[in-house]
Amino acid sequence: MNKITKILVNLSFFLNDSVKYNKIKKSCKKILEDQNYKYGRYFNYFMIFLIISSVGIVIDEVKHPLEHWLVFYDLYIVTSVFIVEYSARFWVYNDIHKIIIEEFQDSLFLEKKFNIFEVVNKIIAKKIEYILSPLAVIDILAIIPSFREFRILRIFILFRAFKLLRYSNNITHFMRILSSKKSELLMIVFLFLFAIFISGVSIYVFEAHINPHIKTIYDAFYWSLITITSVGYGDIVPVSSEGRSVAAIIVFIGIGLVALATSIIVSAFNENDEELKADKIKGLIDKFSNYYLICGYSHLAELLAVRLKTSGDDFIIIDNDSERVEKATKDGYFAYKADASKKNVLLELQMSQKALAVITLAHDDIQNIFISLSVRSLSKSIMLISRMRHKHSYKKLKLAGVDKIISAVNMSSMLISTLINKPLAIEAINSILSGKKNARCEEIIIYKDSPLTGKKIGEINMDFYKLILLGVSKKYDMIRDFIFNPKDDFVLNEGDILVVLGYNISISNFKNVMKKRSIRYARNKR
């Protein structure tokens, strides 16, 4: 290798291994292309403001002389931002260093000479691919109106308006859906053009010498376009029998082509319906600070969804059955079709970062086991709860990392036996758990700066707060132990969980008091 080639290869490997460079490029790409990313949305709003303000300036300039500061704003600020944005999109479109590394590794493997010219051709071809893409063309045309010396170029101000297409999620989805039917739509466009050409030539031949409104072939093509689209302004009307026959035929062809184009677009939306729902769910996840993930919309999941909705908790339902997803959506919940056992699905849902707990309630134990394995492979600490239908699945679910296993059969039999011996106790528990009479059982976590940290149970006046302490869940290493009715000298520590019983108003008041004291304690500590 010559010196220049060696420098290029070394630089490529340096960039490939540079954590800082790759982090900056990844962040830049998210800001430019991910409209669900918080800073990406801020950037979009900023660009929309620049576009609208610059369009307003150019429109105002048509009849009024511009203020000096407006010229400076449009010529330097807006144009500079557009150029920087175009350059950034050009940069993040692909990785030049990866092309160089790939070619270098191939040359080593195949024991052939590293051809720098072939690499350069590949890089140029990839960049030209971006330059010629529709949105990139709009971007570059949006910069042209800044050169005010050439007044004819101001017509390109329209492309600044088209540039808004890039910053709208709905329009982006619409364009992506249409692109999936590109070949069919191109065929429709070709048929439209063909019909316009044939009918235009025909009407020109029949009407040019007898119709005062058709003087050129352009007039004929204009009439054909207006007629085939069923607009019919009435400014050009055939006067001969032949011309009217052509008009009748072209109207039927136009109606047929419009109907065909409409059916293609509708089918495209139907085919991409799940993708649109997935995008909507991703947008909602970005708005959620935390949520519960319910995998499988079974009968138990329906009951759980009702409880979570009543308590005001955010949750998402995911199922691989279209009918169950449709039912969950009709019930008013956020649900979409996907396989929860796939890691990429869980990553898209930001499960590790935002899910408070994952509850697997699929009808099949095997499906619950596979989902649990995928969840545990991504997060070791997240709370994982699973339904069990058959006893032999207990060991497998435990090996899959499930924290709590729910057996509907065991719980039902236990409740029935208790109901026979202690019916009033069951009724009382049911009233509390279902939230009747505004009484409920609540868990209160003791955080780092909580005023309860280091305090003894006897020092907390539960009677004052009108609460009953049922017990404390204490953590020993990785194991939790529930201590029922602890003694007054029991010391509370960070991570302990109080289980209390009381009215809604009493529990809310206790939480608010502890929160205020916690904030005051943290400030004093600093």
**pLDDT tens digit string along 181-197?**
778 888 888 999 999 99
Q: How would CATH label the architecture of 438-525?
A: 2-Layer Sandwich (3.30)
| Cα–Cα nearest to 302, from 337, 332, 338 | 332
Token code pair at residue 115: 């051809």
pLDDT in tens, 378-428: 888 888 988 888 878 888 888 888 888 887 655 555 555 555 565 655 555
pLDDT in tens, 41-94: 888 888 888 888 887 877 777 677 778 888 788 778 888 888 899 999 999 988
In the predicted structure, residue 112 carries a pLDDT above the cut 80: no
How sure is the predictor about 520, in pLDDT bands with cuts at 50, 70 and 90?
A: low
DSSP state of 492: P
Q: What is the model's pLDDT at position 407?
A: 75
d(Cα 79, Cα 143) in Å, to the nearest integer?
Answer: 6
DSSP state of 489: T
Q: What is the model's pLDDT at position 505?
A: 81
Q: What is the model's pLDDT at position 194?
A: 92
Q: What is the model's pLDDT at position 88?
A: 92
Q: What is the model's pLDDT at position 197?
A: 92
Residue 296 and residue 361 in contact, taking contact as beta carbons nearer than 8 Å:
yes
Q: What is the model's pLDDT at position 183?
A: 83
d(Cα 224, Cα 250) in Å, to the nearest integer?
Answer: 8
Name the more confident of 423 and 294.
Answer: 294
499, β-bridge pairs: 443, 471
Q: What is the model's pLDDT at position 154?
A: 55
- Characterize 68-106 residue by residue with b for buried, 16 or more Cβ atoms within 10 angstroms of its Cβ, and e for exposed: eebeebbbeebbeebeebbeebebbbebbbebbbebbee
User: For residue 501, what is the enclosing H or E element?
Assistant: strand 497-503
Q: What is the model's pLDDT at position 417?
A: 57
Q: What is the model's pLDDT at position 526?
A: 44
Give the residue ranges of DSSP H helices in 144-181: 157-162, 169-180
| Cα–Cα nearest to 122, from 136, 108, 103 | 103
Average per-residue pLDDT for the chain: 80
89-98, 111-120, 121-130, 464-473: which has the minimum mean pLDDT?
Answer: 111-120
Average pLDDT over residues 197-203: 90
d(Cα 210, Cα 215) in Å, to the nearest integer?
Answer: 10
Q: What is the model's pLDDT at position 75?
A: 78
Name the more confident of 343 and 152.
Answer: 343
In the predicted structure, residue 479 carries a pLDDT above the cut 80: no
Q: Within 10 Å of residue 38's Cβ, how many Cβ atoms? A: 12
Q: Which contacts of 439-442 are long-range, i.e. CB under 8 A and separated by 24 or more positions?
A: 439/501, 439/502, 439/503, 439/504, 440/501, 440/502, 440/503, 440/504, 440/507, 441/470, 441/499, 441/500, 441/501, 442/499, 442/500, 442/501, 442/502, 442/507
Q: What is the model's pLDDT at position 523?
A: 46
Domain coordinates in residue numbering, the chain: 3-167, 180-271, 288-411, 438-525
Q: Within 10 Å of residue 150's Cβ, how many Cβ atoms? A: 9
Residue 486 and residue 472 in contact, taking contact as beta carbons nearer than 8 Å:
yes
Topology of domain 288-411 in CATH is: Rossmann fold (3.40.50)
Measure Cα distances from 515 to 300, 455, 458 in Å.
Answer: 34, 16, 20
Q: What is the model's pLDDT at position 477?
A: 60
Residue 471 and residue 423 in contact, taking contact as beta carbons nearer than 8 Å:
no
In the predicted structure, residue 483 carries a pLDDT above the cut 50: yes
Topology of domain 180-271 in CATH is: Helix Hairpins (1.10.287)
Characterize the bridge pairing of strands 335-337 and 315-319.
parallel
Q: What is the model's pLDDT at position 169?
A: 62
Got the DSSP string for 123-142? Answer: HHHHHHHHHTSHHHHHHHHH
In the predicted structure, residue 7 carries a pLDDT above the cut 50: yes
Residue type, 44: N
In the predicted structure, residue 525 carries a pLDDT above the cut 60: no
Residue type, 243: G
Token code pair at residue 216: 């050129």
Global pTM value: 0.49
Instruction: Give burial (CB, 10 Å; 0-12/13-18/19+) of 450.
Output: buried
Token code pair at residue 106: 């191939």
98-112, 209-223, 253-267: which has the minimum mean pLDDT?
Answer: 98-112
Name the more confident of 311 and 265.
Answer: 265
Q: What is the model's pLDDT at position 424?
A: 56
Residue type, 38: K
Q: What is the model's pLDDT at position 439?
A: 66
